[in-house]
């Protein structure tokens, strides 16, 4: 009986990396928006969207 631990480790790594990147970018965006810095704020939010779309593209293609 073999368990594919590498695949499980991949799930953990991918989840950790993607989640931390997305939430960090999002909070930085909110901080920039609080200081009325529109350009960095929108850049952060766009970064979140890009990470999500990249992740989905990995699944679909």
- Which residues of the chain form contacts with another protein (CB under 8 A)? 1-4, 7-8, 10-12, 14-16, 18-20, 22-24, 26-31, 33-34, 52, 55-56, 58-60
Find the shortest distance in angstroms from Cβ 28 to another protein: 7
Distance CA 29, CA 38 (A): 9
Residue 53 CB, nearest distance to another protein (Å)? 11
As measured in angstroms, the least distance from the Cβ of 52 to another protein is 7
Buried b / exposed e along 18-50 (16+ C-beta atoms within 10 A): eeeebeebeebbeebeeeeeeeebeebbebbee
């Amino acid at each position: 009986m073999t368990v594919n631990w590498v695949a499980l480790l991949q799930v953990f790594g991918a989840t950790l990396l993607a989640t931390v990147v997305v939430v960090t970018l999002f909070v930085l965006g909110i901080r920039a928006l609080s200081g009325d810095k529109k350009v960095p704020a929108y850049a952060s939010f766009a970064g979140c969207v890009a990470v999500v779309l990249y992740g989905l593209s990995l699944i679909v293609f």
